[in-house]
Structure 1
Amino acid sequence: MRLFGLLIGVLILALLLVYSLERFTLPSFTRSQDAIINTNKVVDQVEQYKQDLNQKETEILDQVNQQNR
């Protein structure tokens, strides 16, 4: 009978451990994944901004070169 009670107690503790790991580990993992995704989006936006600036610079230099001819 004591063994059965001990087994039930260990089972309850194991379930609590699994629940707490799911509750506290997975959200932080999800948040870190979201942070990585957001960082990648910002990097992509910066790259696009750099390309736009380079294109604009080329257009302005072309205009200046045509005016100087």
Structure 2
Amino acid sequence: MQVLVRDNNVDQALRVLKKKLQREGVFREMKSRRAYEKPSEKRAREKGEAVRRNRKAARKLAQREGLLPGRKRPARGR
């Protein structure tokens, strides 16, 4: 992973790096590897994640089809 530092602005480069790491799931991976996870706990966690993913996909599909109201977006003032 690579982040360019422009005009010696290290703070902005750090923010960009953290955002990239967050998007890639590196922090979640580090947190999960801190301690041993029993196989039964891992199965339960993965099953819960799959249920959440499926519910989210179904909710988005229902919103696209007009069955549920979509997210309210903040109005942009010009």
Shorter-chain TM-score tier: 0.3 to 0.5
TM-score computed with the length of structure 1 as normaliser? 0.42
More helix by share: 1
Q: Could you say which structure has the greater relative contact order, defined with CA pairs below 8 angstroms and 6 or more residues apart?
A: 2
TM-score computed with the length of structure 2 as normaliser? 0.37
